[in-house]
A and B are shown apart, each in its own frame.
Chain A
Amino acid sequence: MKFFSQIVELFSTEKYMDIIWEGLQTTLIISVLAALLGLLLGTLVALVTISPQSGWMMVPKAICKAYVTIVRGTPMALQLFIMAYVVFAFRGFPEELTATLAFGINSGAYVAENIRGGILSVDIGQTEAGRALGLTRKITLSRIVIPQAIKNVIPSIGNELIALIKETSIVSMIGMFDLTMAAKIIGSGNNMASYIVPMTVVALFYLAIVYLLTFGIKLIERRLRAGDKR
């Protein structure tokens, strides 16, 4: 029963809760900013990738393809490490920004593929019909294809956001004070001197964040599907 008494001890000690609060803030800041950056970047990259082949579009298309390949093909931990110790290795560069950029760029590649998949999932007949009615390519995409695509994309974007939040736990690798680092600190020699209890408690915090997010995504999905006859 030492386990449960230690959980109570952790929750009732102000010092430990301060540490968790500090870590929670970092985790939330990085997750939210990186998610926004990822969505923005992902949308842009997806739009470039699905745009029709033409002479001058070759260059951005190639860049986007390389971006998605490299980011999805290398471990996140390695990307974070390179960002922290090579790219943004400036004195006093805010590490939250380093992490936000690293995770945002990583997330962007996955979001881009999700959005691309969503757009491709809309039947080609929809585009053909729009074009046949005399709508421009742009209008067809923005008024007919994308509204239908969004519905298909939301679940996989939600998936990506959940993965992103949990993946931020690796920022403790570059010494950042996030939730996982909070658990390490509480578990270190001068505090509880055992990792099992603080790690479990922090896991509960991650679970709570992800649960809230899932709830939010469900609401959006329900709203978007309100008109569906199923």
Chain B
Amino acid sequence: MKKLLSLAMVVVLLCGCVFAFSSCGKDIIVHTNAFFAPFEYYDGTEIVGVDVEIMNKVGEKLDRKVVFENTEFSAIIDNVEGGKVCDAGAAGITITDERKEKVDFSIPYYTSVQYVILATDDASITTKTKDGVEYIVWEALAGKAIGVQTDTTGWIYTDGEINATVDNDYGYDGVLYGTDTELKNFDNAQLAADAIGKSVDVVIIDELPAEFIVSKNSGLKCLPLYYSGETDADDAPVEEQYAICVTKGNTELLDAINEVLTEMMQEDADGVSEIEKLVMKHMGMSE
């Protein structure tokens, strides 16, 4: 019996190795975090979304199969940097200088701003209105518990505002420094949104995922997050740009992605690009 068992284990191991090496270099393996609708999310047991459609086009161009694998968002950049388990990362990843040091980014294909998700009946946070747009400035979040998805730009910004002062490594003054504001990390934004009114007061996440979550939860609303200027007229959000990243030096794949993105960002006669159409299509599915 024991011999049989060990034999079975060896067979399984060998199969695994054969499988591992046979698929070597053929498929394009893309890491993502499938909790970021409309860019990537699970529809049933399949990962779908804007990024998936973009990468499938890249696969067609290179005549290689594209395989999406779900992983923690915070692990994607490191996995792509190592290049051992995947070729590319497509997860609505914002271009930042720190990430640029580790991976190569494609041309940006979408511009987003950060949004704040809060309970509809939360009157403790003062909002401002400018040109008919209601928004929240960072200062209004002082003393609150802020929920974020680990390693997202929402987390990077909030961490900076809370912990930065000219005297430490950050080298600038954070808006919320010393205000007793709390930062709480979650695996994904939905989990953080579930905690609103319990362990957190607000959640900071990118625009479209915020709207996606709010459209599904009647008790929540979302507003853009602005940085205060000298006067109210100068209040503005920080725009960030999404791009797809590849392992450094993989120019063949990067060129193909850039080609596909350039094609897809071409505006048609109505001034709408294919990317925008995809975003609308996947946002529509939520309703």
Tell me the A residues contacting B by CB distance below 8 Å.
15, 18-19, 22, 33, 36-37, 40, 43, 85, 89-94, 97, 100, 173-175, 177, 181, 184-185, 187-196
Contact = CB atoms under 8 A, between A and B. Distances in A.
Contacts of A43: 2
Contacts, number: 115
Contact of A175 (B27, B67, B70, B212): B70
User: Which residue, A18, A37, A43, A189, has most C-beta atoms of chain B within 10 A?
Assistant: A189
Nearest to B282: A190
Given A85-B79, A91-B20, A91-B85, A190 B286 contact: yes
Interface stretch (B39-47, B175-183, B228-236): B39-47
Contacts of B23: 91-92
A193 B27 CA distance: 33
Contact of B190 (A22, A100, A174, A193): A193
Summarize A's interface: helix, strand, loop or mixed: helix
B20 A195 contact: no
B120 interface: no
Interface of B: 2, 5-6, 9, 12-13, 16, 19-21, 23-25, 27, 29, 34-35, 37, 41-45, 67, 69-72, 75, 78-79, 82, 84-86, 187-191, 193-194, 209, 212-213, 216-217, 285-286
A194 B72 contact: no
B79 A194 contact: no
A19 B82 contact: no
A93 B216 contact: no
Contacts of B188: 184, 188
B71 A175 contact: yes
B16 A188 contact: no
A1 B237 CA distance: 40
Nearest to A194: B194
Contacts of B213: 189, 193
27 contacts: A15-B44, A19-B42, A37-B9, A40-B6, A89-B85, A90-B84, A91-B20, A91-B84, A92-B24, A92-B29, A92-B67, A93-B19, A93-B85, A94-B16, A97-B16, A173-B72, A174-B71, A184-B35, A187-B190, A187-B191, A188-B41, A188-B188, A188-B190, A189-B37, A190-B37, A190-B285, A193-B193
Contacts of A92: 19-20, 23-24, 27, 29, 67
A200 B209 CA distance: 24
Contact of B70 (A177, A190, A191, A193): A177
Given A90-B85, A185-B42, A190 B212 contact: yes
Contacts of B86: 91
Given A92-B24, A194-B194, A195-B190, 15 more contacts: A15-B44, A85-B78, A85-B85, A90-B21, A91-B29, A91-B84, A91-B85, A92-B19, A173-B72, A187-B190, A187-B191, A189-B209, A193-B213, A193-B216, A194-B216
A210 to B, nearest CB: 24
Contact of B2 (A37, A40, A187): A40
A94 B67 CA distance: 13
